Amino acid sequence: MIEFLSALILPGLLVLLFTRVTYNRVIGLILTVGLITASVYKGYTHTWPIMILDAFSLTAGFGFAVRLKQRVVKKS
């Protein structure tokens, strides 16, 4: 149960974190995909439902990063 919850939340938060650190949402997405790829390679992510939740969370995090960027640009 904890694996599903963390697969649903953590990749999206990582995209947001890396986006804020690098000031580029594509680089944030690439870094997060790299971390997830490494975890799959090491065997920590071993079921399809968790991989699908990771992909959903990545997509949601990237979409939120795009909206966050638009809000910052709109304020300027």
Listing DSSP states for 6-71 in one string gives HHHHHHHHHHHHHHHHHS-HHHHHHHHHHHHHHHHHHTS--SHHHHHHHHHHHHHHHHHHHHHHHH
Please report the pLDDT score of residue 13 as a whole number. 94
Query: Full-prediction pTM beyond 0.95?
Result: no
Q: Output the average pLDDT for the chain.
A: 90
Please identify every stretch of the chain with a pLDDT value under 70, giving residue numbers as ranges.
76
